[in-house]
Amino acid sequence: MQSRRSPVYLIPDPAVWRRFSGIEKEIFLSTCQGHSYRDVANELGIPFSTVAFHFCAIRRITDTHTILDAFKRVFNVSVEQPEKRRPKTKRAAKMRRGK
């Protein structure tokens, strides 16, 4: 029997959220749900460049550089990023080739 995860409801930080315009809120929520800028543009019926422009404004308001950082700032959550893989050494590469 599979256990179902209950949905997680996140409440945005009011101090940050109120600084967004209506269109910026829609764009932000759509990108947080995993939609690309192109998908958001098609859904809202606006040009791709307009979506990119509004997301620049979102990053400026949240003082961040990425969608993930903006998400963390607006919803006050910490999101763990996967560990970086260690680079392979020359010795390991030689062992794989059988030398």
pTM, to two decimals: 0.69
Contacts of 88 by beta carbon, 8 Å cutoff, 6+ apart: none
Burial of 29 (0-12, 13-18, 19+ CB in 10 A): middle
Contacts of 17 by beta carbon, 8 Å cutoff, 6+ apart: 25, 74
The answer to whether 17 touches 25, Cβ cutoff 8 Å, is yes
Instruction: Tell me the domains of the chain and their CATH numbers.
Output: 14-75 (1.10.10.10)
Report the distance separating Cα 21 and Cα 78, nearest Å. 25
The DSSP call for residue 13 is: -
Other beta carbons within 10 angstroms of residue 69's beta carbon come to: 14
Report the distance separating Cα 32 and Cα 36, nearest Å. 9
pLDDT score at 76: 86
pLDDT score at 32: 87
* Residuewise pLDDT in 10s, the chain (99 residues): 566 777 677 888 899 999 999 999 999 999 988 899 999 999 999 999 999 999 999 999 999 998 889 999 999 887 666 676 665 666 666 666 665
